[in-house]
């Protein structure tokens, strides 16, 4: 039971890290798009 709980916690931690990485990547992509097309920045 304890091992399963630890594995679940590890899986959640990994999932959260992945979500953070995806969000950061999306933010970078949005900034890059804004820089590439300054007309849309307004």
* Buried b / exposed e along 3-22 (16+ C-beta atoms within 10 A): eeeeeeeeeeeeeeeeeeee
pLDDT at residue 28, as a whole number: 93
pLDDT at residue 26, as a whole number: 92
pLDDT at residue 13, as a whole number: 87
Contacts of 33 (CB under 8 A, 6+ apart): 40
Per-residue pLDDT of the chain (42 residues; tens, 9 = 90+): 688 888 889 888 888 889 999 999 999 999 988 877 666 655
- pTM beyond 0.85, yes or no: no
């Amino acid at each position: 039971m304890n091992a399963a709980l630890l594995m679940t916690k590890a899986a959640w931690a990994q999932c959260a890290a992945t979500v953070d990485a995806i969000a950061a990547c999306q933010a970078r992509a949005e900034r890059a798009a804004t820089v590439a097309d300054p007309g849309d920045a307004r």
